[in-house]
Amino acid sequence: MIYRAPLADIGFALRYGAGLPAAIAEGLFGDLTMDDVDAVLSEAGRFAAEVVAPLNRVGDTCGTPFKDGAVTTPPGWKQAYDGWRDGGWNGLAAPVEWGGQGLPQTLNMACLEMWNAAAMAFAVGPLLTIAAIDALHAHGSEALKRAYLKKLVSGEWTGSMQLTEPQAGSDVGALRTRAERAGDGSYRLKGQKIFITYGEHDLTDNIVHFVLARLPDAPPGTRGISLFLVPKFLLNADGSLGARNDIRAHSVEHKLGIHGSPTCTMILGDGDGAVGYVVGAENAGMACMFTMMNRARLAVGVQGVGVAERATQQALAYARERRQGRTAGMPATQSAAIIAHPDVRRMLLSMRALTAAARTICYATAIALDRSERSAGPAARKAAYDLASLLTPVAKAYATDIGIEVASLGVQVHGGMGFIEETGAAQFYRDARIAAIYEGTNGIQAIDLVTRKLALSGGAAVNAHLADLRAIVETVKANNDPTLGATAVRLEDAVECLARATAWMLGRPDQEADAALAGASPYLRLFGIATGGCLLAKQAVAALRLTDEAAPRVALARFFAENYAVQSAAIERTIIEGAPGLLGADAALS
């Protein structure tokens, strides 16, 4: 169950998939060099592998006992968190003025992949804190920022994201938590929140909750939601910890996976109400929340990559060691490592290829985020912002879907041992399952992609992306290396299928909204396949040009194209032709 940070794969994907060196060369990150990037990655990989990874099983088996309102994190987690915080990892991409290091989000996401591969239940806490920092930085008042931002950036305190209520999950507009104006500029909150990740824990002295609530005179639905900062401990005038606020954990859920992460039901306002401070304007909470959610959604996609990478490493190690049966021509007295059997190779290559595709999609999204904040000129920033917005639901949903698929294959590679909990493969299968659900289910991501993101800038964003993919296909065709097999043909087909499906989606009139929604999830998958396949091929072509060690990247790009991109025509057909059969199937659901 050892984890080895895949620094070569990550570094190559950052360079030749995401194009980080070009962004550096444009001066987007000051005097940062790729050597700096490599040094950070190497140190993060070391910490992830040596300190965090050994805690993964401890977290799974010990969970987070809850007693008298307090959560105890698993043995060793506080020390690991302290070391992680002291290493400055929390503020890696946070603003320098608040104590962060101002490094690229792209680099931060690569590090998050490693924290999540090491222990998803550990990394999900910082993931939310980092998202909360974004929201507070973008929307908070100067006073709030001064009081809270530095300690959130340093990791001295953590953040929680409190949206969900029993009747308000995907439908966040249905929330009922109430906030009353206290007359002194603060608010008093009363209500109940569920599924709150790290809503209570013993890692830090204070926890800064970001809570969605509704003012008494708020309009209904999402236009009447405000975001409040609600600290566990109120601050004295000098910034030191003061009185305990009126917010508490009521219970901790018994979950399928990520047992090391406490998922809390929270009660606000047993007494006079929890003291809260509005972030941004009243009734403008959704905008703040989307700042927080969008970063978090990409980071959850990265969780899918992390758990897939970890499951793949373990399955590969097992398949190299476990001996069963013989390959063709082997004498009866010998036995082969199961990695030699073609069907096992298929599983392992599937795991590798899907993981690499999801990784390169996530990093491409991350660099678009960086460019949206740092590129020269508003037009370039706007184009990058649109691209990041377009790719975020794809990164989230595709990467977490394949996280489950890869973890399940990992169990299968282990045979009977995979079903035994001590082996560890089963934990990945359990842990991976949540990432397709939280931060907006993958169905919600698909709906977001189809109903909001395709229409960005009148379709210009998606068309620009399609042009990028077509350009990659051209370079693959031009390269024409025989080891690429049918890569170019399959990818060209995938991109054109995506283009037609996109045109079909953009062409749906309002009265056919349900037809578009019926095809949303297959559309997102096609988007992921075409994008992931092209970005893998882009890396393969770069490898062929640059090195004499191109074989692994070429093999993966080819395997992905011949086994996944090849599905594109069928998916296009399902999208374009499948709606009547789906929408007319009432009788089969009665």
- Just list the catalytic residues: 439
Residue type, 568: S
What is d(CA 510, CA 451) in angstroms, rounded to the nearest whole number? 10
CA-closest candidate to residue 400, choices 162, 153, 116? 116
CA-closest candidate to residue 288, choices 172, 442, 124, 428? 172
Size of the site for a second copy (CB under 8 A): 100
| Contacts to a second copy from residues 472-531, by CB under 8 A | 483, 485-486, 513-514, 517-518, 520-521
Among 154, 441, 463, 479, binds a second copy (CB under 8 A): 441
For a second copy, which is the closer residue by CB, 275 or 565? 565
Q: Does 434 bind a second copy (CB under 8 A)?
A: yes
Name the segment binding a second copy (CB under 8 A); options: 25-33, 114-122, 325-333, 380-388: 325-333
Q: Does 415 bind a second copy (CB under 8 A)?
A: yes
What is d(CA 317, CA 353) in angstroms, rounded to the nearest whole number? 17
Q: Does 337 bind a second copy (CB under 8 A)?
A: no
Q: Does 420 bind a second copy (CB under 8 A)?
A: yes
120: its two tokens = 């998803």
Task: Identify whether the C-beta of residue 267 lies closer than 8 Å to the C-beta of residue 247.
Answer: yes
CB of 367 to a second copy, least distance (A): 25
Q: Does 321 bind a second copy (CB under 8 A)?
A: no
Among 324, 376, 545, 546, binds a second copy (CB under 8 A): 324
Among 31, 240, 332, 480, binds a second copy (CB under 8 A): 332
Among 317, 380, 455, 569, binds a second copy (CB under 8 A): 569
For a second copy, which is the closer residue by CB, 372 or 574? 574
108: its two tokens = 């931060």
244 DSSP β-pair partners: 233
Q: Does 418 bind a second copy (CB under 8 A)?
A: yes
CB of 523 to a second copy, least distance (A): 11
| Contacts to a second copy from residues 161-220, by CB under 8 A | 164, 167, 169-171, 174, 194-195, 220
Name the segment binding a second copy (CB under 8 A); options: 51-59, 209-217, 296-304, 558-566: 558-566
Q: Is 147 helix (H, G, I), strand (E, B) or coil?
A: helix
CB of 421 to a second copy, least distance (A): 5
CB of 363 to a second copy, least distance (A): 19
1: its two tokens = 């169950």
∠ CA 236-237-238, nearest 5°, is 90
Residue type, 55: L
Q: Does 317 bind a second copy (CB under 8 A)?
A: no
CB of 490 to a second copy, least distance (A): 9
CB of 237 to a second copy, least distance (A): 39
Name the segment binding a second copy (CB under 8 A); options: 33-41, 93-101, 283-291, 424-432: 424-432
Which strand (E) or helix (H) includes residue 135?
Answer: helix 120-139
For a second copy, which is the closer residue by CB, 187 or 429? 429
What is d(CA 358, CA 13) in angstroms, rounded to the nearest whole number? 11
CB of 201 to a second copy, least distance (A): 19
CA dihedral 227, 367, 446, 561 (to 10 degrees): -160
For a second copy, which is the closer residue by CB, 231 or 257? 257
Q: Does 252 bind a second copy (CB under 8 A)?
A: no
Q: Is 246 helix (H, G, I), strand (E, B) or coil?
A: coil
CB of 365 to a second copy, least distance (A): 22
Q: List Cβ neighbours of 411 (8 Å cut-off, separation of 6 or more).
A: 418, 419, 425, 426, 428, 429
| Contacts to a second copy from residues 347-366, by CB under 8 A | 347-349, 352-353
| Contacts to a second copy from residues 277-316, by CB under 8 A | 316
Name the segment binding a second copy (CB under 8 A); options: 30-38, 44-52, 63-71, 553-561: 553-561
Q: What is the DSSP string of 452-487?
A: IITTGGGGHHHHHHHHHHHHHHHHHHHH--GGGTTH
What is d(CA 584, CA 288) in angstroms, rounded to the nearest whole number? 39
Name the segment binding a second copy (CB under 8 A); options: 22-30, 180-188, 342-350, 455-463: 342-350
For a second copy, which is the closer residue by CB, 213 or 517? 517
For a second copy, which is the closer residue by CB, 162 or 442? 442
Q: Does 65 bind a second copy (CB under 8 A)?
A: no
Q: Does 443 bind a second copy (CB under 8 A)?
A: yes
Task: Identify whether the C-beta of residue 311 lies closer than 8 Å to the C-beta of residue 428.
Answer: yes
C-alpha pair distances (Å), 348 with each of 11, 35, 342, 380: 22, 32, 10, 40
For a second copy, which is the closer residue by CB, 49 or 317? 317
Compute φ and ψ for 512, nearest 5 degrees: -110, 25
Among 68, 271, 379, 590, binds a second copy (CB under 8 A): 590
Residue type, 571: I
What's the distance, Cα to Cα, between the start and end of the chain in Å?
A: 46
C-alpha pair distances (Å), 399 with each of 27, 59, 200, 433, 440: 30, 23, 28, 12, 14
Task: Identify whether the C-beta of residue 104 lies closer than 8 Å to the C-beta of residue 64.
Answer: no
363: its two tokens = 């990093």
For a second copy, which is the closer residue by CB, 460 or 583? 583
Name the segment binding a second copy (CB under 8 A); options: 102-110, 119-127, 331-339, 386-394: 331-339
Task: Identify whether the C-beta of residue 160 lies closer than 8 Å to the C-beta of residue 193.
Answer: no
Q: Does 580 bind a second copy (CB under 8 A)?
A: yes
| Contacts to a second copy from residues 383-412, by CB under 8 A | 404, 408, 411-412
Among 438, 461, 502, 544, binds a second copy (CB under 8 A): 438
| Contacts to a second copy from residues 81-110, by CB under 8 A | none
| Cα R_g (the chain), whole angstroms | 24
For a second copy, which is the closer residue by CB, 144 or 555? 555
CB of 355 to a second copy, least distance (A): 11
What is d(CA 208, CA 531) in angstroms, rounded to the nearest whole number? 37
User: Where do we find the tokens 């992830």?
Assistant: 48
